[in-house]
Amino acid sequence: MPGPLKVSKSIVTMDSEDQEEIANYPAEILNTFDVSDLPTHELQFKVGAIVILLKNIDSRQGLCNGTKLLITFLTDNVIVATIAAGKNKG
């Protein structure tokens, strides 16, 4: 698939007022956690790729678990996609 690859990583810092607690969980440790049924620490996307929605967002708009989406635009914090199939396509 042509085009640049966009890499999205999970959160790599802790948010706490306790500096000692933050020091106990550096990014290297946070990135090793592997929780079943959740995506890995690093996801790679390209415009034009098909992704599957993993959470019910808006059933009236067709954004339900398992909906196939076509990525149309990527930024650092946002994935813009359209529904790829079904009655709510586009």
Q: Print pLDDT tens along the chain (90 aa).
A: 888 999 887 766 777 788 888 788 777 777 777 777 766 677 889 999 999 998 899 988 889 999 999 999 998 888 999 999 888 888
For residue 90, give every residue at least 6 positions away whose Cβ sits within 8 Å of its Cβ, in sequence order, or none.
Answer: 82, 83
pTM attached to this predicted model: 0.67
Rounded to whole angstroms, the Cα distance separating 86 from 63 reads 11
Q: How far is it, in rounded angstroms, from Cα 7 to Cα 5?
A: 6
Write out pLDDT tens, residues 20-44: 887 887 777 777 777 777 666 778 8
List phi, psi (to 5°) of 22: -60, -40
